[in-house]
Structure 1
């Protein structure tokens, strides 16, 4: 079988973006970018989620960071919200019945601010006018009139009582304990001695008259108390009339203005009722103040603060529905709080200290939250679900449950909620919540999935150019010429590891745009060219590849053993990828295999040393299936083998080395050497089919760098799976080496194709009798395994005889 057709042409090693397809000289000529690039599925889901009114159809936007999740939803909502009605204002007012349950007033947008200003002025005037009522001449006259009338009545009652007492020989005498009836004889009070000298009949008559007079005295005192109570009532009624007369004009104008707002009128009615019930408190206090050193005393005088209005949410400046992004979704930032003031060591609060949260500000519109931030803040996620479930926002002090003593605080009445909530997170968070939180699927029924890649189409290429132009315009950067745009798009295809796809990670692309513009500006150019994009890419690699260079140095000086020339049996160069944060690179690793007599087991030394991951272990176990299917149909598999990555001191994961391991096994069994100048990557299945792997560009470039350092011989190269052809986006150095014939890349579909390239010997195919052709790899392996089986059988017979 010829292997020439497996060698790739230089044109297949990358995809070139034709700059001539662009009809502009620089991106300055391009119109603004509208919408989001390459996310049709996600945008359709968002449009559906925003259109449906049910409270459970909130949206979870999932995707990798940098794919435009946040910027896209903000742009969509800002555009969509402008055509929607502005939500109502919300105000909190004092609860005159309970005092701890402030109630809300809902007003059309802009009316809340008006009401607050009007009520502020009302309270100012009440503070001025009400105290004046008690200092007015009319008030004093009315009060004196009521007092005089009742004093006359008191006087008449006591005069009548005194007259009765005189007629019956008694007189009224005032003492410390009150009025006392004293008997009189010859114009002077009767002494005790004189009383004793009286006869029994005189004493009885005197006691009888005294008892009757005492009853009259008690009746008179009761009548006096009734008169005093009546005087107080009449005074109170008079004060209410006077205060009402003074305050009614202040309310009358506002009641006319807000005649269509029933809740506001109700509040005014409650205010007037409360004022009339607090007349004693509202009297001017002229008592002395005792100021302690270093302490400011509170102002004396009646307080009218409870009649104010707390403008809780003010939407008068909005031009549509609100769009709120809460970057720090703590419990209080989301659901509001009741603040306190410390005075003389005591914490006090009132309804004016109720502050809104993000949900209150977004009520009637949209709230955007980062899912991770919500989850790491205590209570936020559970409280958010309660709000969605109950369709209301309740302000609570969640720290109460951590206190030993419960404190009295305000509990404002919950505000009705009508808000579309958008969570943004990674796919991992979405699927974890969907799996483990039953409520999540009830309240976030719309999934908008942002893809990390988009198709390589003409339309998306033009959209990419618009994105570059928009970024340059928005950030006042130098604009790109068409060659620079094409080079940037090629780099995007490289990031996606697919010639037919572009990367949707616009964070990376935006950084590349900024860096390329920086280098162009540094050179004094008026535009960004393709060389500046290349320079930005190279500079980024240089900033990140210190460890890669250290490993290259170790290979160059022979510390890490990698052969790029000659032949060796049971030894091959496998290729692996190191991922170090934002940078990845390929590195060749020597892989050795030793085969010996056994019972069909593969000893993975990495696994025995606890350095192998489950996927790599699976790849090794697949090799047993391959040998069983191909070579153990007519004989037992009397093979044992040990597989090892030489000079590997860290964990090994992935199945991309399974092809290399299989080639080394075949080489060891057939006793046919492998060309050490050829490195291998790819996974294999039990049928010997070569499967695609990741990081193919980094692997090829990493091995080429090693060969270049150790010396190119014209016989070196890399074998890759044919299914990875679409992933090739190799750099210029590798492509030029392939064009010159200094380096080769082969693409294979089966293990047989790969072993022919590595050994130069045909693999061989079974004939109709199931035999392998002579002098082929498979025939040599089959013969070796047959001898192993016969040898094991002989050893088994020997053991039986000895037994």
Structure 2
């Protein structure tokens, strides 16, 4: 029993909070190694059963390590002006991503205000008018020259909606078509020749006019660009200076400036008297979204490397997603709708993922392996990998990945992945295994108490006094099923502390005491033990048959454990054996009824081997025996009843009754050694409860393997009954010790001649086996001497056999 003096404190608030993971030295060393090594593939799999506190412990451990690491950079996605379907990824120092986004917002806001103002200025109007006047003059000169040449050739040029018409002139009057037809052929031919020459001049002149218009448009664009550049150029100069040390950002700003100057009318529309006011505001804002900055990861508030716990590792939550919005009945998207995943946020740090949830999410596991192999995060539609996405979508530039992945899961997942997934072995080379038990040393007792200090401070619970801590230590040893160990199932122990503190507060106590802890443990058991109570009631009403007094041949009280989710409890069962002459050997009825598991079947085969070696060395084992758990309608698994089954079989063979006031548990090997089993406390308490229901006589008890002595952590009422001599626990090392306890008869040791002393239990077993062998031989001899059925009836008068 744990005493308060062993803990070094009166109350838990006398101790400093726990700052380390307790009882997991092996796991801590593996974590330290895995986090320190930077070689490729040294990610970590943290294996441990649920409730060992591995998630909380690992996250706290990582946060402590991460504080000393550098803060990783920000990541942004921006519009790609060359390929809009391939958004660019920008890397900036921590905190500068949000700054760039704000700077771009200010830039666009200023441009939308200043550019229309610049184009509304008198200076722009004057320069534009001068340019247009100059080009108009040149245009008029070209047209004047053309008309002069036309008149000289005897033509006039007229413009019409259908094109240009060249009309001949005779006597200063245009010639109509009918008049032209009346002219002499020689004159018509001459006019047509002059017209062809003039048409070439017209074509050349109009080419020059077209070039002149293009030149005018270009000059006008340059003027507009100069005006716009003058309006916002100083802003770009400031940004270039601010982000000059970041080549990718500088390149992006240059592309923005170029695009703005190429799309000046987009900004000039703001100063045209509300020309677009008929459109919804979001439609008017859409063209300017390409100048925004989508801050994917903002590490401005980080102190050290990030530690991310992704508890819902879907593909989208891990790798990010591309959202869409409906516009006029169509789904559209752009770079501003790219959303980060937990891998982006953990980039440069650590990410913790439950492996079970990872494996059940479609594409998530394969995607994670690909990201770790390629060392980059690619945001894409999951369906694209299977070729089932037909519509065109964004393909953002991948982001380089540098992260340490920590998977959490039960050991079974580690073994399966290691065996069946070759990639797993290459990517997760460090295993950190959390155990469920630790040594019950003085140092660990103090750490146990410090854990309660941390829990009480963190959750504002009433602190515990030394008696409460001692009670919890005993409870921890019971969970560990070992007097020299403590359970590390801290989740369950913490729940007991929370419930005990609840009861203490209800009573207005200053501290949580052992009584409150005891009440919490009993209340937890009571909430779950309805089925156990019903089984106890069936024993009390003789609906389940079990003798706890007297002695019976071939009948032994066996002990088993029923596991019902959050509750394990013991249930004694009557095990019986029947024997007869025959060659069937030992038959397991549970197996024949398909109620026995493979381990239970193995146990029956082992005890058959023991019987054969010990009692039938020099003769064939002529035996047909049946073993069964009476009134057992559920499956039977495990070999912990093999001792009880062996004692029932030997009792039936020897004809010696077995004491029913004793129950038996333990497994046996072929050499007759009794081996330890699990659930020893629940088994003992289960038989004790039935004995108490039927009345304690003072001679009742259990027979258990001696190796289980250190596993005893019994309930207080059972311990008290043992102290009072009303219940007993007997330890045995081999089968013979059990025989003597259960029958009161000496077992007998084999003599030099190979026989057992007369009057001993083993001698009676051998005698019965010899008797059964003789009966079997007699039956076989009688069968051989007996004529075949109908042998005397098949002959005719001449002695010939009838043919059939």
Q: How far 1:129 sits from its partner (Å)? A: 2.0
Q: How many residues align?
A: 786
Q: How far 1:298 sits from its partner (Å)? A: 4.9
Q: How far 1:288 sits from its partner (Å)? A: 9.0
Structure 1 pair 183–32 and aligned structure 2 pair: CA distance change class (3 A): same
The answer for the alignment partner of 1:12 in structure 2 is none
How does 1:536-551 map onto structure 2 within 5 Å?
A: 536-551=520-535
Q: Contact 2:276–2:284 (CA<8 Å) still a contact in 1?
A: no
The answer for the alignment partner of 1:325 in structure 2 is 309
The answer for the alignment partner of 1:254 in structure 2 is 239
Structure 1 pair 166–794 and aligned structure 2 pair: CA distance change class (3 A): closer
1:59 to 44, 53, 69: 44
Give the secondary-structure state (helix, strand or coil) at the position aligned to 1:576. Answer: strand
How does 1:389-428 map onto structure 2 within 5 Å?
A: 389-400=373-384, 406-428=390-412
Q: Does 1:152 align with 2:137?
A: yes
Give the secondary-structure state (helix, strand or coil) at the position aligned to 2:633. Answer: coil
Give the secondary-structure state (helix, strand or coil) at the position aligned to 1:439. Answer: helix
Structure 1 pair 544–224 and aligned structure 2 pair: CA distance change class (3 A): closer
Q: Contact 1:573–1:680 (CA<8 Å) still a contact in 2?
A: yes
The answer for the alignment partner of 1:740 in structure 2 is 724
Q: How far 1:435 sits from its partner (Å)? A: 1.2
Give the secondary-structure state (helix, strand or coil) at the position aligned to 2:269. Answer: coil
Q: Contact 1:110–1:316 (CA<8 Å) still a contact in 2?
A: yes
Give the secondary-structure state (helix, strand or coil) at the position aligned to 1:304. Answer: helix
The answer for the alignment partner of 1:574 in structure 2 is 558
The answer for the alignment partner of 2:348 in structure 1 is 364
Q: Contact 1:105–1:264 (CA<8 Å) still a contact in 2?
A: yes
TM-score normalised by the chain length of structure 2: 0.94
Structure 1 pair 172–692 and aligned structure 2 pair: CA distance change class (3 A): same
CA distance in 2, matches of 1:135, 1:675: 113
The answer for the alignment partner of 1:444 in structure 2 is 428
Structure 1 pair 158–773 and aligned structure 2 pair: CA distance change class (3 A): same
CA distance in 2, matches of 1:275, 1:289: 20
The answer for the alignment partner of 1:284 in structure 2 is 269
CA distance in 2, matches of 1:113, 1:336: 19
Give the secondary-structure state (helix, strand or coil) at the position aligned to 1:61. Answer: strand
Structure 1 pair 296–167 and aligned structure 2 pair: CA distance change class (3 A): closer
Q: Contact 1:696–1:724 (CA<8 Å) still a contact in 2?
A: yes
Q: Does 1:700 align with 2:701?
A: no
The answer for the alignment partner of 1:652 in structure 2 is 636
Q: How far 1:173 sits from its partner (Å)? A: 2.7
CA distance in 2, matches of 1:518, 1:216: 105
Give the secondary-structure state (helix, strand or coil) at the position aligned to 1:418. Answer: coil
CA distance in 1, matches of 2:91, 2:188: 81
Most deviating of 532-541 and 602-611:
532-541
1:709 to 693, 699, 704: 693
Q: Contact 1:337–1:395 (CA<8 Å) still a contact in 2?
A: yes
Structure 1 pair 479–168 and aligned structure 2 pair: CA distance change class (3 A): closer
Most deviating of 343-352 and 61-70:
343-352
In structure 2, stretches of 5+ residues that fail to align are: 788-804
Q: How far 1:24 sits from its partner (Å)? A: 2.2
Give the secondary-structure state (helix, strand or coil) at the position aligned to 1:568. Answer: strand
The answer for the alignment partner of 2:546 in structure 1 is 562
Q: Does 1:112 align with 2:97?
A: yes
Structure 1 pair 233–636 and aligned structure 2 pair: CA distance change class (3 A): same
Q: Does 1:91 align with 2:81?
A: no
1:200 to 175, 185, 194: 185
Q: How far 1:219 sits from its partner (Å)? A: 2.6
Q: Contact 1:90–1:104 (CA<8 Å) still a contact in 2?
A: yes
The answer for the alignment partner of 1:691 in structure 2 is 675
How does 1:576-595 map onto structure 2 within 5 Å?
A: 576-595=560-579
Question: How far does the alpha carbon of each residue in 1:350-401 deviate from its partner, in whole angstroms, 9 at most, with x for none?
Answer: 2122111111111111111111111111111110111100000110011456
The answer for the alignment partner of 2:615 in structure 1 is 631
1:458 to 411, 436, 442: 442
Higher relative contact order (CA 8 A, sep 6+): 1
Give the secondary-structure state (helix, strand or coil) at the position aligned to 1:230. Answer: helix
In structure 1, stretches of 5+ residues that fail to align are: 1-15
How does 1:293-312 map onto structure 2 within 5 Å?
A: 296=280, 298-300=282-284, 303-312=287-296
TM-score normalised by the chain length of structure 1: 0.94
CA distance in 2, matches of 1:764, 1:754: 12
CA distance in 1, matches of 2:274, 2:472: 81
Q: How far 1:192 sits from its partner (Å)? A: 4.0
How does 1:450-599 map onto structure 2 within 5 Å?
A: 450-599=434-583
Structure 1 pair 365–197 and aligned structure 2 pair: CA distance change class (3 A): closer
CA distance in 2, matches of 1:186, 1:52: 104
Q: Does 1:341 align with 2:322?
A: no
Q: Does 1:231 align with 2:216?
A: yes
CA distance in 1, matches of 2:361, 2:114: 50
The answer for the alignment partner of 2:791 in structure 1 is none
Q: How far 1:302 sits from its partner (Å)? A: 9.3
Give the secondary-structure state (helix, strand or coil) at the position aligned to 1:367. Answer: strand
How does 1:130-149 map onto structure 2 within 5 Å?
A: 130-149=115-134
Q: How far 1:402 sits from its partner (Å)? A: 7.8
Question: How far does the alpha carbon of each residue in 1:434-492 deviate from its partner, in whole angstroms, 9 at most, with x for none?
Answer: 11111111111110000000011111111111112221222222222112211110111
Q: Does 1:373 align with 2:357?
A: yes
CA distance in 2, matches of 1:147, 1:380: 63
Q: Contact 2:22–2:444 (CA<8 Å) still a contact in 1?
A: yes
The answer for the alignment partner of 1:125 in structure 2 is 110
The answer for the alignment partner of 2:176 in structure 1 is 191
CA distance in 2, matches of 1:54, 1:408: 38
CA distance in 2, matches of 1:193, 1:572: 137
Most deviating of 414-423 and 179-188:
179-188
Most deviating of 476-485 and 152-161:
152-161
Q: Does 1:243 align with 2:228?
A: yes
The answer for the alignment partner of 1:784 in structure 2 is 768
Q: Does 1:607 align with 2:591?
A: yes
Question: How far does the alpha carbon of each residue in 1:489-535 deviate from its partner, in whole angstroms, 9 at most, with x for none?
Answer: 01111111111111110111111111222222222221122222222
Structure 1 pair 488–223 and aligned structure 2 pair: CA distance change class (3 A): closer
Question: How far does the alpha carbon of each residue in 1:106-143 deviate from its partner, in whole angstroms, 9 at most, with x for none?
Answer: 11112222222222111111111223343332333222
Structure 1 pair 435–404 and aligned structure 2 pair: CA distance change class (3 A): closer
Q: Contact 1:284–1:302 (CA<8 Å) still a contact in 2?
A: no
Q: CA RMSD in A?
A: 2.0
Give the secondary-structure state (helix, strand or coil) at the position aligned to 1:180. Answer: strand
Give the secondary-structure state (helix, strand or coil) at the position aligned to 1:378. Answer: coil
Structure 1 pair 412–742 and aligned structure 2 pair: CA distance change class (3 A): same
Q: Contact 1:281–1:302 (CA<8 Å) still a contact in 2?
A: no
The answer for the alignment partner of 2:300 in structure 1 is 316
CA distance in 2, matches of 1:784, 1:373: 60
The answer for the alignment partner of 2:795 in structure 1 is none
The answer for the alignment partner of 1:13 in structure 2 is none
Give the secondary-structure state (helix, strand or coil) at the position aligned to 1:590. Answer: strand
Structure 1 pair 208–517 and aligned structure 2 pair: CA distance change class (3 A): closer
Q: Contact 2:418–2:425 (CA<8 Å) still a contact in 1?
A: yes
Structure 1 pair 364–623 and aligned structure 2 pair: CA distance change class (3 A): same
